[in-house]
Amino acid sequence: MRNIALLRVLPDPVAVASPWSTSESRWRRSSGVGHRTLRLAALVASALAPLVVAGCGGSGGGRAPFTGSTAAPITTTPPTTPPTTPPTTPPTTPPPPTPPPTTTPAVTWRVSGWLPYWAYTGGDRMLDANVGNGLDEVNLFGYRLKSDGSIAATTGAESAVRHAAIRSKGGELIPTILDVDDAAAMSAVLGSAAARQRFVVAVGEVLDRFGYDGVDIDFEHVTATTRDTFSQLMADMAVAVRARGKVVSITVPGKRADRSNWPGYDYAALGRVADRVKLMTYGYSGPWTRTPGPIAPLSWIRQVMDYAVTTMPANKLVIGIPFYGYDWPNNTTGTINSVTWSSAQARLARSATGLQFDAAKGEAHFTYTDTAGVGHTVWLQDARSIAAKAQLVKDYGAHGLAIWALGNEDPAFWDAIRAVLKP
């Protein structure tokens, strides 16, 4: 497996001072020219973990708990005339009303996760351990959008063995259709009525062929000029998906207002046609910020959610959280690399201070010195980070969590999710 890191999404520019213009793509690759973002975020040393993409990618969870009793009070009708003789036995006393329940029905908070096609080795082991035991929905990453509106499966996305394994444990199988590695495809499709129609038909056909539980859309190259056309395409697609009784999921960048930084994504319009809207609330810090910092600080996620709940019901919203981090060298020339919990362990072993946790930001961090004598600062997730972010689902009454990405996490992450959302 090639050791490279891909970044999917940047925060809105108010969140960080970014050297990149807001018209640049969210995918950045250092080996090539990107449409809006760095196409390769960093070239990871051969000893590092497999490729990590930082950022991706209803009905159901997040509803307020029911309180009170549905039992009607019991009443008795008095006799119309008094008895002519005193009763020889005491009158029957009606039973007292049924008291209200002392507990409320459990709320179902749902957890989904994107499984990249390059992370199947670790991902399949994770699926076996957690689908039906913390993980409810699997988003195979998935199908690529083509410029003519057709879609093409990525490696392993249509594996019958993988599908059967997920379904055998009761998991929802909702693949993601993406445009992240083809900046031209989205504009071509949105510019052609024929291509848009072909896309809608293609989505219906793949649902029919594999019996998926729904579809997740992760189109990251929508612009201000294509905003309304994109919203209409999602509405047209939703009609075809719902006609089959399936779930419509749309993944969008996290933003704190309807600003110009992500002008193509009309939260309100997309919220009207989607069952679930997944917010990519990660990528706050990364290779575009030379100053080390948290990937998804709690305060920023709250700001995104505070805006999002003004545009659609909270129980449609899915809070995206990272299962990754970044390593910043303490110089101006070194490469900023992505890390997972697994790949960070060798670095952590070189740390003099050990793993620290910033409770206010909701993320872990540590420093170390490499073999060349260069100091580094690493921010990443640990079980405490995951628990703090999971709590936001309950705080906002959201649908659940969406995880980018499955395959290289600490098993303790799942213990934290189960403890908070599935006790």
pLDDT digits (tens), the chain, 423 positions: 333 344 455 566 444 433 333 333 333 333 333 333 333 333 333 333 444 443 453 333 333 322 233 333 333 344 444 444 444 455 555 555 555 554 445 679 999 999 999 999 999 999 999 999 999 999 999 999 999 999 999 999 999 999 999 999 999 999 999 999 999 999 999 999 999 999 999 999 999 999 999 999 999 999 999 999 999 999 999 999 999 999 999 999 999 999 878 999 999 999 999 999 999 999 999 999 999 999 999 999 999 999 999 999 999 999 999 999 999 999 989 999 999 999 999 999 999 999 999 999 999 999 999 999 999 999 999 999 999 999 999 999 999 999 999 999 999 999 999 999 999
| Cα–chain center distance at 330 | 31
pLDDT at 107: 76
In the block, tokens 């600080």 appear at 297
Measured in degrees and rounded to the nearest 5, phi and psi for residue 5 equal: -120, 135
Q: What is the mean pLDDT of the chain?
A: 83
Query: What angle, rounded to 10 degrees, do the helices at 120-130 and 411-421 form?
Result: 40
Dihedral (CA of 272, 184, 31, 16) sign:
negative
- Please give the Cα distance from 140 to 154 (Å, whole number): 9
Instruction: Please list the residues that pair with 139 across neighbouring strands.
Output: 114
Element (H, E) at 276: strand 276-280
Instruction: Please list the residues that pair with 279 across neighbouring strands.
Output: 252, 319
Angstrom CA distances, 399 to 78, 131, 250, 328, 386, stand at 50, 18, 13, 34, 16
- Please give the Cα distance from 339 to 363 (Å, whole number): 14
> β-pairing, 317-322 with 110-116?
unpaired
382 within 8 A of 388, measured Cβ to Cβ: no
- Please give the Cα distance from 146 to 141 (Å, whole number): 15
Q: Which fold has domain 4-57+107-421?
A: TIM Barrel (3.20.20)
pLDDT at 99: 54
250 within 8 A of 312, measured Cβ to Cβ: no
* Sequence spans of domains, the chain: 4-57+107-421
